[in-house]
Amino acid sequence: MSKGIFDNKSPDSVEGVLERITFYNEENGFLIGKLKGTEGKEEIAVVGKAPKVQCGETLLLTGSWTMHPKHGKQFSFEKFESKLPSSAYGVRKYLASGLIHGIGKTYAKKIVDHFGADTLRIISEESARLREIEGIGSMRAKSIKQAWEEQKAVREVMMFLQTYGVTDALCLRLVRKYGNEAKTILESDPYRIIREVKGIGFKTADRIALNLGLASNGPPRIDAGILHVLQDCEDQGHTHFERREVALQAIELLEANSDEVENRIDALLSQGEIVPSKSDWIQLPTTFRAEHTLARSLTLVNHGKSSLPSILIDKALEWAQGKAGFQFAQMQDEALRQALSSKVSILTGGPGTGKTTILRALVSILRAKKTKILLAAPTGRAAKRMSESTRHFAQTVHRLLKFDPSQGGFSMNEQNPLVCDYLIMDESSMLDTRLASALVRALPSNAHLLLVGDADQLPSVGSGNVLKDLIECNLLPVTRLEVTFRQADDSGIVGLAHSILSGKASPPSPLEPHSALPRTHDVHFIRAETPEECVRVVCDLYKRVLPKTFGVNPKNDLQVLAPLHRGVGGIGNLNDQIRDAINPNGATHIMGSLLFREGDKVIQTRNNYDKDVFNGDLGIISKVDNLNGILEIDFDNRLVKYERMEVTDLQPAYAITVHKSQGSEYPVVIFPLLKQHFMMLQRNLVYTGLTRAKKKVVFVGDPAAYAMAIRNNKTLSRETDLIRKFQQEFEPTQTPNR
């Protein structure tokens, strides 16, 4: 055995250079590798948890020798220390690992041959000297320096957080947020990261804080716990919360006494960190402002003078019917009259009830009158669909309101209002309180507003239940469309959707085998009672059956919608299995726990206003450039480049949650439903997933799970304060619903 491994070490520890990584689990940091001394040739096998180590690093491992039945003698370590390589050999190995974008095996050899063991110091302190190497110019030298500083910060944070169960992806977010100051901020104010970094929860920050010696009953911890409870309630969709319930949850979470918690709630109220709503209920200040602004702005628009020219409604409807080539049904006629005569109104109805006909006619009338019309939807796909159906330009709310990153808000507001006479907002069930508030406050008081949506769909992902609240407040005119104009047989998507709402729907007769899908139906049910069987069937449908039987393009025409993220039947595993089935050999890019391949279908998970890419946008990876750490994504024929730290905003999208699908439509939907999804088995979830399909939907799973969902119409109610605030702002005179 090489002396380099054992010099000055006890029998329970070894030291050497990490020569090779045989296996590495990105989720928990479990490593199987080969270690050898800096001068020696003999290697030993090592196994244990060592998050974010790279070939070339010098490791000091503490543990014990074990004998593996297949692989023989190996060192199983429980603790490790890592330091940057100090020898030329170690530095070359370290750089050749691909850790620093811009340096591969070739340049690693050139640089180390030139600078020797001093290479890392040169990169860190004198990066301009890299231009001494043939082929490295000023831009490449700058890029190498930047990548080096970035990976140092990531490495430092990961080493610090290795015992706290923080994933690589979250570590990358911390570094992206705080840069080189990430570790300092974690040590000085660990509770800060809860508020500022998405994905870091109270429990993780609390473990760090208590390990650092912060008092368990100190104000910083109790305040963080109270605010965490409030934020957790918001994450469940609520906008305000009963004080007593918040206190009880905080006491349980913190294991604190009631007086300490109540005193800190009073302190947070006095500091404005939380605000009162109605008696003995509290809110976060941003949510209070959003609800109040929405209520006030709606009232101003509803009571404002109209900027529309005079419209003879009877003649306008007659003209629109002539243009459409058919006579409108009674409810369609009434809906158009209401939309033309009201300042603020609501149009709601399920699929096939004629909403598109109404919107097309309304837009035609308004255009003929040369009015300024704006059409908006929450997602890019919904806006595109709206534009196609009305033959008028539509855009997302975020693009309409022009987000300004420098100010952290929208450019369009009450001081800089939208220029329009009439705004039509589609898919309004997706509007959360804050986005709805931003939209309405940007409307001039003389404009008209029509909110269009399906109140039976899932509520918004963000907090609030805006469309439902505005329908139930009985202050605005509401037209409910119930007659189905798009006829379908009993097995059709539209017919099944309306049956589901009535609670009478039974699944289509389960098919066996799944390869025998009849061409004459647009709804199918394939029995698969175990999660493993369900995943196998979904993959086969995706890769073989549906493309072969119906000629669909898997990446463009198929979308798997699942209720949950985790578990065998969750979107995480479904994405892994589908990718391995249809795209096993694409060029691979690994970022933390995320794996992407060239050709993969991906989804954006947060709004990026600089790139003009928004939460829910789907794209295809067109290029993987591992040398420079760049992914190129094709979003509807628009190529967008993602640098290394931006990749964490992407997720695989062969399968997405039903919630993520809202506002979108897909030619074909595959919908796994299992008893393991019981927490999410609700009628409106099945209804929402079903109505995302334009041509065909294939349920895969247990018929009993489907039946459970249809029977469960007890959706979790959301506690909101919008109705009360709107009633306070509104004039006593009320307009009855229609």
- Tell whether the model's pLDDT for residue 32 goes beyond 80: yes
Q: Which of 706, 667, 358 is nearest to 493 (CA)?
A: 667
- Tell whether the model's pLDDT for residue 731 goes beyond 60: yes
Characterize 256-268 residue by residue with b for buried, 16 or more Cβ atoms within 10 angstroms of its Cβ, and e for exposed.
Answer: beeebbbebbeeb
Mean pLDDT of the chain: 85
- Tell whether the model's pLDDT for residue 735 goes beyond 50: no
For the chain, the farthest-separated pair of C-alpha atoms sits apart, in whole angstroms, at 97
pLDDT tens digit string along 179-215? 777 778 888 888 988 888 877 788 888 888 888 888 8
- Tell whether the model's pLDDT for residue 227 goes beyond 70: yes
Distance CA 563, CA 458 (A): 12
Q: Please give the pLDDT value at position 3.
A: 41
What percentage of the chain exceeds 90 in pLDDT?
39
pLDDT tens digit string along 231-259? 989 988 999 999 999 999 999 999 999 99
Q: Please give the pLDDT value at position 487.
A: 47
The dihedral built from the CA positions of residue 623, 625, 628 and 629, taken in this order, carries a sign that is positive
pLDDT tens digit string along 438-457? 999 999 999 999 999 998 88
Strand duo 58-68 + 72-83: pairing: antiparallel
Distance CA 705, CA 711 (A): 10
365's tokens: 């009338």
Instruction: Give the range with max mean pLDDT: 105-109, 270-274, 584-588.
Output: 270-274
Alpha helices, DSSP H only, in 130-235? 138-161, 168-178, 182-188, 192-196, 202-211, 219-235
Q: Please give the pLDDT value at position 41.
A: 62
Query: Lowest-pLDDT range, 318-327, 366-375, 475-484?
Result: 475-484
pLDDT tens digit string along 111-143? 889 998 888 888 888 888 988 888 888 888 888
pLDDT tens digit string along 380-399? 888 888 999 999 999 999 88
The more confident residue out of 96 and 495 is 495
Instruction: Give the range with max mean pLDDT: 50-64, 281-295, 349-363, 630-644.
Output: 281-295
Radius of gyration of the CA atoms of the chain, in A? 29
**Helices 571-582, 531-540: crossing angle, 10 deg rounding:** 40
Residue 717 pLDDT grade (very low, low, confident, very high; cuts 50, 70, 90): confident
- Tell whether the model's pLDDT for residue 51 goes beyond 70: no
Q: Please give the pLDDT value at position 27.
A: 57
Calculate mean pLDDT across residues 375-379.
92
The more confident residue out of 406 and 580 is 580
Alpha helices, DSSP H only, in 369-419? 380-390, 397-401
Q: Which of 672, 665, 544, 553 is nearest to 601 (CA)?
A: 553
Q: Please give the pLDDT value at position 593.
A: 62
What one-character DSSP code corresponds to residue 131?
A: G
Q: Please give the pLDDT value at position 2.
A: 39
How far apart, in Å, do the first and last CA atoms of the chain sit? 87
Q: Please give the pLDDT value at position 8.
A: 42
Distance CA 352, CA 333 (A): 16
In this structure, which long-range contacts are made by residues 180-189, counting pairs with CB atoms below 8 Å and at least 24 apart in sequence?
180/149, 180/152, 180/153, 182/153, 182/156, 182/157, 183/153, 183/156, 183/157, 186/157, 186/160, 186/161, 187/160, 187/212, 189/220
The more confident residue out of 96 and 672 is 672
What's the residue count for the chain? Answer: 738
∠ CA 391-393-395, rounded to 5° = 135
The dihedral built from the CA positions of residue 181, 182, 187 and 190, taken in this order, carries a sign that is positive
Q: Which residues contact 129 (CB under 8 A, 6 or more apart)?
A: 115, 122
Contact present, 122 and 153 (Cβ < 8 Å): no
Reported pTM: 0.75
Q: Please give the pLDDT value at position 55.
A: 77
Residue owning tokens 């170690």? 90
Query: Lowest-pLDDT range, 34-43, 117-126, 462-471?
Result: 34-43
Phi/psi of residue 469, each to 5°?
-65, -45
Q: Please give the pLDDT value at position 637.
A: 85
The more confident residue out of 623 and 735 is 623
Distance CA 737, CA 696 (A): 35
Contact present, 254 and 222 (Cβ < 8 Å): yes
Q: Which of 205, 280, 189 is nearest to 240 (CA)?
A: 280
Alpha helices, DSSP H only, in 49-97? 88-96
- Tell whether the model's pLDDT for residue 38 goes beyond 60: no
Contact present, 564 and 655 (Cβ < 8 Å): no
Distance CA 421, CA 443 (A): 9
Q: Which residues contact 128 (CB under 8 A, 6 or more apart)?
A: 138, 141
The more confident residue out of 657 and 96 is 657
HEC string for 7-33: CCCCCCEEEEEEEEEEEECCCCCEEEE
- Tell whether the model's pLDDT for residue 1 goes beyond 50: no
Contact present, 197 and 616 (Cβ < 8 Å): no
- Tell whether the model's pLDDT for residue 170 goes beyond 80: no
